[in-house]
Amino acid sequence: MERKSDLLRNTAFIAHVGSGKTSLAEAMLFNGKSTTRLGRVDDGSSNLDFEPEEIKRRITITTSIHHCDWKKHTINLIDTPGDDNFLSDTKASLQAADGVVVVIDATAGVKFGTRKVWGFADELNLPRIIFVNKMDRERSNFYGVVEEITKTFEVKATPVFLPIGAEDKFQGLVDLIKMKAYLYAKDGTGNFEESDVPGDMQDLVRIWREKMLENIVEADDEIMEKYLEGEELSLQEMEETFIKGIKSGLLVPVLGGSSTLNVGVPHLMNLILQGIPAPGERKTLEGKKPGSQEIIRRKAAPDAPFSALVFKTVADPFAGKLTLLRVFSGTLKSDSTVYNANKGSKEKFGQLLILEGKKQQSTEMAVPGDIVAIPKLKETATGDTLCAESDAIIYTPIQPLPPVISYAVEAKVKGSEDKLFTSLARLLEEDPTLRLERDQATSEIVLSGTGQIHLEATCEKLARKFGVEVNLKPLKVPYQETIKKPVQGVIYRHKKQSGGRGQFAEVHFDVSPLERGAGYEFENALVGMNVPRNFVPAVEKGILEAIKTGVLASYPIVDLKVRFYDGKSHEVDSSEMAFKIAASMCLKKAVQDANPVLLEPIMKMEIIVPDDAMGDVMGDLNSRRGRVLGVDTKGRYQVIKAQAPMSEVLKYAIDLNALTAGRGTFRMEHFHYEEVPAQLADKVIAAAKAAG
């Protein structure tokens, strides 16, 4: 199936969760005859939300791609997640789009998720169209939403269609450019009849048409001059200037509708053909020459050298890995070899697939703008550039959102840890926001992600795709122990005499604290021949074993110096083992006398919150023993720089969401260790002993 670039419209659907963007995409698939019935999210018959985890939660978890034909054009639909836990996938998938439809719930207005995804579209400079959905629902308020959009995003939100009626009386649209009314059948068919503007809407239509024209003419100086001089604009002049305004991003057209009733959707599809640029209309693409900072410019033309960006990977236990790419320039044919410019390697492949929700169909060729999948590439990962080796280029991919919450992952079946690790690594290919590591201090497998639901859905996927069932457990805080005062002349004698050869070793230590973060230091200060030098490594080995488990709660001992200055030995009974045991016991004895204390990890945090939530967030930080170090302003947001103990912020992502109604974001990293306050140390020690 060959497609022409100039007839392609790559359109991403973005929204706050629950605004109905998947239902809208389903209505478009139905209108474009790609499906024979209207798929519904609520009854699990959606063609786009097909993963079991999505059907269970009734939300989009992973971006789904499909296409439909409309008026001799092909619209590629990129249905992205709206839930905060999965927005990194949305951000990455927008790299395949040339424009977006922002879906806003007419009963709820602009929500925090709308702001976040709008910001992603800003980053990539994508033109947008706003569809105010659920106009048939109670408390729908089209004009209230338009006002809110204008205030929130400081854009020229321009209704080009006005709703006829609202709530259960919503029945169609008035076209402000053509001055026609369209009355829809409310049976999901998308059928409508054209008629004149209703009499009771004449005044309203005149006011909004004037506003629309004022916004449209700003896209063209000549047309603006004509308009200001009072000349009548022709329908063609209006439409051409309107389209120019959308593509430049100066104008954001708005229309209302109902995705579940399929009202207004055909008019949105017409608007997509007009306002979303064809791949060839995009600005010249910029990348870098591999291994240098030299900028390469590339035209989105079929006869240019081939280049494409991998924006997503899907891990399938049966089909293997599916690599999803957006072709930016040139032509790609099946059964060929591409060059991975990031890895410096060639990838040979057979099939080239076009995505249709959960299904795929093979194609012989892909042109600029096409979104295709290649199965079973060996080395290619999300973010890589595939291109012609003779004209290599690397595109800079969008960075994934940072993980904000971590849990320890434990296999339900003992002994399947290796399978757990390899299966999770496969899911990491699919989801670059996940992070997997083994904590050296606690030996736990740690899985980090962008939210609680993100990690829960990952574990469900792990069980379904790879048959590995796991438990998520709160992380163990890697406490440490240290000493506060020096002790000198600590002596320990290890003597054992019971049949056969005996054991004898005596060591003399001075133990002193080091500054925080210094670790451990050993000084061999032996003089004389009381201890043969060949036993010194055994003494150090004994100390190293002893500092792994401290005297308070068996946490590692850090920041201390051991000076080994004397001891005694026996020419027959002394052995390496005897000196190792003596050193280990001597250190424990010394630490007990050196005022041992517990240390806890402190995290460095940067928290971005709206102005109105700042007081609550700072108060909450104080209650977590946090320290606010400074506050900067970033637009309408405040950036709080703080430190807090790790034990107090293990689930901070969930709590910050609650405090800011989901509008806050944060990042944190380990900073240093500090002493645990005495009363809390007692609780930690008691808990560690109880866990035994």
> Is 50 exceeded by the pLDDT of residue 2?
no
Contact criterion met (CB below 8 Å) for 504 and 574 = yes
Q: What is the pLDDT of residues 472-518, one digit of tens each?
A: 888 888 899 999 999 999 999 999 876 667 899 999 999 999 998 88
pLDDT at 485: 94
Give the tokens for residue 464.
């379904």
Structural domain ending residue among the three candidates 341, 356, 391: 391
If one counts every other C-beta atom within 10 angstroms of the C-beta of residue 673, the result is 20
Give, in order, the Cα–Cα distances in Å from 167 to each of 170, 175, 202, 247: 6, 20, 20, 32
Q: With cut-offs at 50, 70 and 90, classify the pLDDT of residue 47.
A: low
Structural domain ending residue among the three candidates 473, 491, 521: 473
Task: Find the mean pLDDT for residues 224-247.
Answer: 86
Number of domains in the chain: 5
Q: How far apart are CA 146 and CA 20, in angstroms?
A: 18
If one counts every other C-beta atom within 10 angstroms of the C-beta of residue 527, the result is 7
**219 and 354 inside one domain:** no
> Is 70 exceeded by the pLDDT of residue 44?
no
Residue 107 lies in a domain: yes
**110 and 249 inside one domain:** yes
pLDDT at 489: 95
Q: Amino acid identity of 272?
A: I
Residue 99 lies in a domain: yes
Residue 366 lies in a domain: yes
Structural domain ending residue among the three candidates 561, 594, 627: 594
Contact criterion met (CB below 8 Å) for 559 and 522 = no
**613 and 658 inside one domain:** yes
> Is 80 exceeded by the pLDDT of residue 152?
yes
Q: With cut-offs at 50, 70 and 90, classify the pLDDT of residue 67.
A: very high
CATH of the domain at 429: 3.30.70.870
Contact criterion met (CB below 8 Å) for 186 and 261 = yes
**Residue 339, Cβ density class (10 Å: 0-12 exposed, 13-18 middle, ≥19 buried):** buried
**375 and 490 inside one domain:** no
Say which range, 39-43, 352-356, 491-495, 518-522, has the weakest mean pLDDT. 39-43
* Mean pLDDT (the chain, rounded): 88
Q: Is the dihedral of CA 136, 138, 142, 146 positive or negative?
A: negative
Helix runs in 137-201, H state only: 142-153
Q: 27 vs 442, which has greater pLDDT? A: 27
Q: 410 vs 327, which has greater pLDDT? A: 327
pLDDT at 51: 67
Give the tokens for residue 64.
């789904």
> Is 90 exceeded by the pLDDT of residue 384?
yes
Q: How many CA atoms lie within 13 A of 451 on its CB side?
A: 19
pLDDT at 1: 41
Which residue's structure tokens are 């104080």? Answer: 622
**341 and 208 inside one domain:** no
CATH of the domain at 60: 3.40.50.300
Q: How far apart are CA 318 and CA 329, in angstroms?
A: 31
- What are the two backbone dihedrals, phi and then psi, of residue 469, each rounded to the nearest 5 degrees? -95, 135
> Is 90 exceeded by the pLDDT of residue 617?
yes
Residue 89 lies in a domain: yes
Q: Amino acid identity of 572?
A: V
Q: 633 vs 284, which has greater pLDDT? A: 633
Give, in order, the Cα–Cα distances in Å from 166 to each of 28, 38, 135, 376, 617: 22, 23, 6, 50, 39
Residue 309 lies in a domain: yes
Residue 288 lies in a domain: no
Q: How far apart are CA 664 and CA 659, in angstroms?
A: 8
CATH of the domain at 331: 2.40.30.10
Torsion of CA 286, 287, 288, 293, to 10 degrees: 50
**453 and 486 inside one domain:** no
Residue 659: domain span? 598-691
Q: Amino acid identity of 147?
A: E
Task: Find the mean pLDDT for residues 626-634.
Answer: 91
Burial 50-86 (b: 16+ CB within 10 A, else e): bbebbbebebbbbbbbbbbebeebbbbbbbbbbbbbb
| ∠ CA 465-470-476, rounded to 5° | 140
Phi-psi group of 622: left, alpha or beta (phi > 0 → left; psi -120 to 50 → alpha; rest → beta): alpha
Residues whose CB falls within 8 Å of the CB of residue 182, separated by 6 or more in sequence, listed in order: 172, 173, 174, 175, 192, 193, 194, 195, 267
**518 and 632 inside one domain:** no
CATH of the domain at 493: 3.30.230.10
Q: How far apart are CA 534 and CA 537, in angstroms?
A: 7
pLDDT at 531: 93
Residue from 436, 430, 510, 442 nearest 470 by CA: 436
Residue 398 lies in a domain: no
Q: Amino acid identity of 684?
A: V
Give the tokens for residue 524.
């061999």
If one counts every other C-beta atom within 10 angstroms of the C-beta of residue 5, the result is 17
Which residue's structure tokens are 């629902």? Answer: 137
Q: How many CA atoms lie within 13 A of 528 on its CB side?
A: 8
**553 and 633 inside one domain:** no
> Is 70 exceeded by the pLDDT of residue 239?
yes
**72 and 19 inside one domain:** yes
Q: Are strands 73-79 and 8-15 parallel, antiparallel or unpaired?
A: parallel
Q: Are strands 64-70 and 560-568 parallel, antiparallel or unpaired?
A: unpaired
Helix runs in 133-277, H state only: 142-153, 202-217, 221-228, 235-248, 265-275
**137 and 13 inside one domain:** yes
Residue 1 lies in a domain: no
Q: What is the pLDDT of residues 184-201, one digit of tens each?
A: 998 889 999 999 999 999
pLDDT at 465: 82
Q: 446 vs 500, which has greater pLDDT? A: 446
**269 and 348 inside one domain:** no
Residue from 622, 539, 618 nearest 579 by CA: 539
CATH of the domain at 632: 3.30.70.240
